[in-house]
Structure 1
Amino acid sequence: MLLPPSFRSSGDVLADRRYEYASAAFDERDFEAAADLARQVLELAPGFAPAHALLGRSLAELGARDEAVQALRQALGLEPEDVLGVRIDLARLGDLPADGAMTDAYVRALFDEYAPKFERHLTRSLSYCGPELIADALRRACSKRIREYRFGLTLDLGCGTGLMGQALDGLCASLIGVDLSPRMLEKAERTKLYDGLHEGELVSFLKGRADAEADLVVAADVFVYMAALDDVFREAHRVLRREGLFAFTVQAHEGDGFLLGQDARYAHAERYLRALADANALTPVVLEPVSTREDRGVPVPGLLAVMQR
């Protein structure tokens, strides 16, 4: 599970040192030691939310569900914006619904920390290829629809450091990106590929756009951080001009709807995507299984879609 930085000073030097030891023990999967050290931290700094979160995660790994929930709830009470992502842990323990478990504050903190090493980690460690797959699927979709493989105004949802913009370089008359993380947007700005970059949540961003203004809306591996996609589909349809395209990737699962996986990402079913497309007058031109990244050397199942308004 990717986590935002949980270390900051508790205000007690000894507590900070023990928290570092607890974190190291957790990373080495010595969950008993991690839990014991986290308790020691809390004896010294009872209001230190990261230690409550670490204790809860350690107890969850040890199978002590009720104690884990109690510790995680304590962390959430101390930091209700949840930059630590404990709502995800609570959802996985069945104490919260999966829908809404991932907060904007968590995603922003996660990617602000991730930004300096984002591209290197994705491409080298995870063999990430989402933008390239989307660009190729758009080429094939344009061929099927007998239209030029070029686009007018393009909206890049969750643009990150600009990898999708690089894959579409030279193909868009205008490219505008949105992302929650200001540090990721700083990286995207340096590409010089975007005509506009906006910090914010993507549905709110879409709601602020004009009707039928975009020729293409893209979202490369963004919906793994969202549960229900109803609002995204509705707004994508609204902002797209007639015959405009909506291209995206998701992690996939067999079944219906969406679920929160053990990797702390959402997976969406093909039937769910097709139902949303039908409800929002979007025609799937490409909808196929892909893997955009690996997890410990194993391809992660996903879906690639290009839909036409």
Structure 2
Amino acid sequence: MRQRTHTDVPHQRRTTLGIEDYLARLGDRVRAARAQRGMSRKILARDSGVSERYLAQLESGRGNPSVAVLHQVADAMDMSVMELADPHGGTDPALAEIQALLAPLAPAELSEAAEILERRFAGSGTRGRRIALIGLRGAGKSTLGKALADALGFPFIELNREIERDYGASIGEMLSLSGQPAFRRYENRCLNAVLNDHEEAVISTGGGIVSNADTYTMLLRRSHTIWLQASPEEHMQRVVEQGDMRPMAQNREAMSDLRAILEARAPLYNRAEASVDTAGEAPETSLAKLTETARALIA
């Protein structure tokens, strides 16, 4: 019988730690992807068919999912299993090297790197005189967007209304019947149509558009994008004041969920060409700042 050498135990320990580290990173990735899409764990459980309890274990790094479970979770978030399980897997050496260089960068540095790559290899596209507003619900995209369009003499377009018109039902019904993948397909198609049909426009987008890489890249390349910012408390208050109680319905952790969504999306929102902070300001003041910013972009 082979004698155990002093190298065996460290190897086993490294293997165990490697698995634990991988599961922890996988859990972080699932949680971040869910937050970017604004999906509660309950909704992801419904759409994926994976129990809410198991998803909690998976996100905490204590789950050891099968390929089938990963496929269900990834499909519900409109991702590939490879994206979810190993974002660096299956790539050529050059791309792997780029990913290794980007991995240690802070969110702000990643945004800067993305802009450099876009300018160098994708071109700026034709933004025309289109202004696109991004940000969480309650940021003022509809209210301020409509007023901005009036000030500029541009048509005002709410992308979600275009999606509902194309689909033939409300977004809530679409998500309930067809899930996130269908919504993201319609979002991409409707945005492309709006950009093709309008040289001048103010476009209000859904808060989660930034989580769809292809659609968000199209928006950044073909419009002047402005991030409307506010504090999490103001986002929540404004939504509730508009009569929408969904954020609070059957969710005692609505505010912590909102903070998680904002934290996950902030690096993506930060890729916008400009930002306007509306926190603690009267609508008239915010509109003046937004109008000034928009006019500078399309000048």
Q: Structure 1 length as normaliser, TM-score?
A: 0.36
Q: Which has the higher contact order (CA 8 A, sep 6+)?
A: 2
Structure with the higher strand share, 1 or 2 = 1
Q: Structure 2 length as normaliser, TM-score?
A: 0.37
Structure with the higher helix share, 1 or 2 = 2
